[in-house]
Structure 1
Amino acid sequence: MNKFKYMFLMVTSIFAINIAAHAQSQKKAKSVAVVTGAQDREYWANLLYKMSSPVIYNLANATLKKNMPVEVPPGQKVDFFKKVTYLEAVGRTMAGVAPWLALPDDETKEGEMRKKLRTALLKGIANAVDPANPDYLNFRTESQPIVDAAYMAQAFLRAPKALWEPLDPVTKARIAEEFKSLRTRTGAYNNWLLFAGVNEAFLMSIGEQADPVRIEFAKRKILEWYQGDGWYSDGPSLSIDYYNSYVIHPMLVDFFKVLSDKKRISADMYETALKRMVRYSEFSERIIGPDGTYPPIGRSITYRTAAFQALGVVALMKKLPAHINPAQVRCGVTAVMHRMFDQCNNFDKDGWLVLGFCGSQPEIADVYTSTGSLYMATLGFLPLGLPAEDPFWTGAAADWTAKKAWGGQSFRKDYHVDY
């Protein structure tokens, strides 16, 4: 009897311990799960600062070419990439940080980070177009600079008061001349037409003579390549990848905004492009899995969080559809960032991004990819351009569509649109 009693006591004790442990783990899980929008914003800001600061501070110190590693895919030669990778890093980083740096100064830790980055970037931009500077960037040879000048242009269009107007007249004139020098080359018959168009639109926006042929060709072909339901093909053939977010929607909307403001296209044409981007953003929100993963499909997946640029632009413009709560976008994209950057080491020992999707995976990098290319990832952080008091950041944590769907919650059905 005593033996059975002893066994009973042992079993019940173990059961009680397990219950207590489970309750403790549940309590811990709940405490971890309750994260405020302010905490999400702090995480985004710190991550973007970590990602962008090596590019911006080295450019300001004229040490970018000296210190930035040039990692290339297996079998590719480094020498060619050294001609283009530095402008890639600068242009793409500028486009990603521009809305954030456009916010007014304040005394917060985040405000201090923004001010330091903006001050350094303005100095760096002057270095980038000074022929006597060690970090003078190559706009003049190869086709790739057409692409990355366009991201620099997009940065100026996104934050003119923060990044363009403070520049001195000599630097502004030099930038205009570098952009004009791009006209000696052409690129691929796909989204590259849009890069050329955006470069010309930027020149138009600062009062320079733009090339009407490049503008018209880009406008006509991109519209011709619209496939419906918010999707453009990347050239004559449809590709299932993230180029609608990396390039097409955000650049087309910025391109058409300049043309609309200059009365070169109708306001309706701009509004249609915007509506199509909003529709595409619905797909972007839905591809975020309940665990923060998303499909590694198509080329250029080493651009990482740039897959959510279009969604971020729509949130930044406060154009999210009524059925999408801004907080669910914040929580969904935050989940992606945690999954990608907390569970994978995407940086080398000196803080530079490495080739890969989730960690170092150089074998998945496309042949045109090098270290500078990777800074497209900054384009996933555009909602930081919304002030901290915006509902995007102050709203209570909310589940995104896939989390609702896989959690047995009610969620909105999805339907094709005709515009």
Structure 2
Amino acid sequence: MTPTGWTRQHLADLADESLLALRPWATPDHARFDLPGPAGQSGPVSDGLEAFARSFLAVGFRLSTAESDPHDHAGWYARGLAAGTDPDSPERWPSLVDVPQARVEAAAISIALHETRRWIWDRLPAAVQGRVVDWLAGSIGAWYPESNWQWFHNVTQAFLRSVGGPHDQARTDEFLAYLDGCYLGDGWYSDGRPDGRGGNIDWYAGFVMQLFSVWYCRMSAGEPGIVERQALYAERLQAYVASAAGLFGADGAPLYQGRSLVYRHAVVGALWAGAVFDANPLPPGRLRHTCLGAIKYFVERGAYDKDGLLSLGWLDRFEPMRQPYSGPGGPYWASLGFAGLLLPETHPVWTEPEEVAPIEGVRAIRPTGWLVAGTEADGIVRVINHGVDHSTATPGLESPLYNRFGYSTVTAPVPLTDGSAGQAVDNQVALVDAAGRWSQRPLINLVAINNNRAESRHIARFARTSGGSDAGPELECVSVVRGPIEIRAVRLTGTAHLQPDREAGGLVVSGFGVPREAAEGARGDLVSAVVSFTAGGVIGRSVHELETAFGAEIEVPWCRFDGPEVGRWYVVGSYLGVAAPDWPTVVVSGTGRPSVAWPDGVSDEI
């Protein structure tokens, strides 16, 4: 693990280069950037607004504390604001009333306007200011789902309020109460609480739930109670930074889990916010290393294409990973990664020596049900998941980006919901029924988590071809983690859901999937392996002829037990690293809980 060598000037230069690369794609009056690539579900006009709004967010961070604007970013975007809010302009933006996606982009514009007030807002003609207010006021009474979107409403209202425009404080207060109810503790938010569940956890905990909460306070200075609210949010942000900073590999790669990963270095926005709002628990030089390390990781692996545009992908362009809502302007949510530019050159984050972040060790993130295991020897960070399922109380299909047992900074899940015909997908515990169906775990119930051990239960569910699913047996799953190895113990707890057509003919436990053909910029030295510690386990490998952001021909190791018995423990070791694993010794005695003796003499009870 080496220092990035980057400074504040590197970040400022990257912001300028990214913004300048967009200009050839602008409409004549700069209200949209009509970028190449597949349209999002809201259509190309909304996509053009998206590219404008999200890149404008980078302008906000770039100019907030700047003493000069040599590229006239302010003038360029001011012209776009005037055209986009002009109802008679051919470049007019979609109404917030008519196009829900515009409500997201309005929030980005609101923050950018707040941060560039002396550069743009204060210099806009009164007529243009009025049109901007009218456009943003479309947020009043508009639908915002019970999710991170309510922060988009709130920051838009905060800006309207700050310029004397119409706003709905009662609804803002209602949304503040709901969003507070999404807080799970230790710095982590669930993105909404469908049916009271808190498993909707991904990088949105930082993208929006953390960063927008403190920015709402920044935009609400002087309002009653805002000092106390900001103190509360800063306390939560500090805990999040301490936790999320451990989800980056030695090469700067963030954990690959959850949706909207095309936003790339947006993942460090909340970490920068920790320093901006005096809520950084890390040494300043270490925070800089983590944030700039992630940005540099993407820059050096082709995130910006030959034209200097952010592509839809992770390393370089890989459109299959995008969500339907993401158009070609979607990746510019990465502008959140420029939030560090609010910190002046004299801030300790920039003046103190860069400090390489340690990753060695295993720790628990209790609200998420995650065990986080980092190893300096290979630079990989892994997450073993016993709590995140992105589901409601009504089970749906399993999501590869949320429900798997393991995620890492160097692999992506196989993008299939389950296995079939002997082809296991990665990081699952699956029953195979009499019809050959492979079970899923759409609902995960965390039982316990502490240090290097996590335990959960789930009902194995078998998807029907006609839709919906059938309930099978309940499975108890325990993971004990040390270094690059997870010991995964599984047992069927009872027969309550066993029916003749769903009787478990086999139990399959799988490990990480690694590409045989690594993508450019991805790791090509990875080893994934499993071993059985229970008699009767058969080891095999499946190769999926498909691609992920990290490469093609995804190979998944697995272990299968035929005719699993109720109450018996089945124990499998799973490894992800770069060399042959040094497996522990596991003692399994009947229905008693297994014990693990690690090579260094440490022991664990499952």
- In structure 2, relative to structure 1, the CA distance for the partners of 1:403 and 1:379 (3 Å cut) is farther
Structure 1 partner of 2:126: 169
- In structure 2, relative to structure 1, the CA distance for the partners of 1:56 and 1:270 (3 Å cut) is farther
Structure 2 partner of 1:68: 35
Shift of the alpha carbon at 1:64? 5.9
Q: Is the 2:3–2:356 Cα contact (8 Å) retained in structure 1?
A: no
Q: 2:210 aligns with which of 249, 264, 272?
A: 249
Q: 1:51 aligns with which of 12, 18, 23?
A: 18
Q: 1:154 aligns with which of 107, 111, 125?
A: 111
Letter in 2 for 1:316: V
Q: 1:142 aligns with which of 85, 99, 103?
A: 99
Q: Helix, strand or coil: the match of 2:184?
A: strand
Shift of the alpha carbon at 1:189? 2.0
Letter in 2 for 1:271: A
- In structure 2, relative to structure 1, the CA distance for the partners of 1:35 and 1:357 (3 Å cut) is closer
1:328-339 correspondence to structure 2 within 5 Å: 328-339=286-297
- In structure 2, relative to structure 1, the CA distance for the partners of 1:104 and 1:63 (3 Å cut) is closer
1:288 aligns to 2:255 (yes or no): no
Shift of the alpha carbon at 1:70? 4.2
Q: 1:89 aligns with which of 42, 51, 68?
A: 51
- In structure 2, relative to structure 1, the CA distance for the partners of 1:56 and 1:238 (3 Å cut) is farther
Q: Is the 1:62–1:134 Cα contact (8 Å) retained in structure 2?
A: no
More strand by share: 2
1:340 aligns to 2:322 (yes or no): no
1:89-238 correspondence to structure 2 within 5 Å: 89-106=51-68, 112-113=70-71, 116-140=72-96, 141-183=98-140, 185-236=142-193, 237-238=198-199
**CA–CA distance in structure 2, aligned partners of residues 315 and 266 of structure 1:** 19
TM-score (norm 1): 0.78
Q: Is the 1:327–1:392 Cα contact (8 Å) retained in structure 2?
A: yes
Q: Helix, strand or coil: the match of 2:65?
A: coil
**CA–CA distance in structure 2, aligned partners of residues 224 and 240 of structure 1:** 14
The runs of 5 or more residues in structure 2 that have no matched partner are: 362-373, 378-449, 452-606
Letter in 1 for 2:53: G
- In structure 2, relative to structure 1, the CA distance for the partners of 1:266 and 1:98 (3 Å cut) is closer
**CA–CA distance in structure 2, aligned partners of residues 262 and 174 of structure 1:** 25
- In structure 2, relative to structure 1, the CA distance for the partners of 1:299 and 1:135 (3 Å cut) is same
**CA–CA distance in structure 2, aligned partners of residues 63 and 173 of structure 1:** 19
Structure 2 partner of 1:320: 280
- In structure 2, relative to structure 1, the CA distance for the partners of 1:104 and 1:381 (3 Å cut) is closer
| 1:154-209 Cα distance to aligned partner (Å, 9 max, x none) | 12233322332222211110010001123353132211122112211211111123
- In structure 2, relative to structure 1, the CA distance for the partners of 1:51 and 1:403 (3 Å cut) is farther
- In structure 2, relative to structure 1, the CA distance for the partners of 1:80 and 1:195 (3 Å cut) is closer
Structure 2 partner of 1:17: none
Structure 2 partner of 1:273: 233
Q: Is the 1:346–1:356 Cα contact (8 Å) retained in structure 2?
A: yes
Shift of the alpha carbon at 1:342? 0.7
Structure 2 partner of 1:394: 351
Shift of the alpha carbon at 1:338? 2.1
Aligned residues: 362
More helix by share: 1
1:297-316 correspondence to structure 2 within 5 Å: 297-316=257-276
Q: Helix, strand or coil: the match of 1:337?
A: helix
**CA–CA distance in structure 1, aligned partners of residues 300 and 78 of structure 2:** 31
Letter in 2 for 1:203: L
Shift of the alpha carbon at 1:35? 6.3
TM-score (norm 2): 0.55
Q: Helix, strand or coil: the match of 1:84?
A: helix
**CA–CA distance in structure 1, aligned partners of residues 329 and 107 of structure 2:** 15
| 1:306-336 Cα distance to aligned partner (Å, 9 max, x none) | 1111111122334312xx1211111222222
The runs of 5 or more residues in structure 1 that have no matched partner are: 1-28, 73-77, 409-413
**CA–CA distance in structure 2, aligned partners of residues 64 and 206 of structure 1:** 22
Seq. identity, %: 23
Structure 1 partner of 2:308: 351
**CA–CA distance in structure 2, aligned partners of residues 395 and 147 of structure 1:** 36
**CA–CA distance in structure 1, aligned partners of residues 218 and 64 of structure 2:** 19
Letter in 2 for 1:293: A
Q: Helix, strand or coil: the match of 2:201?
A: coil
**CA–CA distance in structure 1, aligned partners of residues 209 and 326 of structure 2:** 19
**CA–CA distance in structure 1, aligned partners of residues 205 and 104 of structure 2:** 15
**CA–CA distance in structure 2, aligned partners of residues 385 and 48 of structure 1:** 13
Q: Helix, strand or coil: the match of 2:329?
A: helix
1:262 aligns to 2:223 (yes or no): yes
Task: Give the number of the structure whose alpha-carbon radius of gyration is greater.
Answer: 2
Q: Is the 1:239–1:298 Cα contact (8 Å) retained in structure 2?
A: no
**CA–CA distance in structure 2, aligned partners of residues 218 and 193 of structure 1:** 6
| 1:267-326 Cα distance to aligned partner (Å, 9 max, x none) | 3222101210121111232212112112111011111011111111122334312xx121
Which structure is higher in RCO with an 8 Å CA cutoff and minimum separation 6? 1
**CA–CA distance in structure 2, aligned partners of residues 186 and 401 of structure 1:** 44
| 1:114-150 Cα distance to aligned partner (Å, 9 max, x none) | xx22232222222222234343222342111111101
- In structure 2, relative to structure 1, the CA distance for the partners of 1:49 and 1:129 (3 Å cut) is same
- In structure 2, relative to structure 1, the CA distance for the partners of 1:232 and 1:370 (3 Å cut) is same
Structure 2 partner of 1:368: 325
Shift of the alpha carbon at 1:400? 1.5
Q: Is the 2:34–2:44 Cα contact (8 Å) retained in structure 1?
A: no
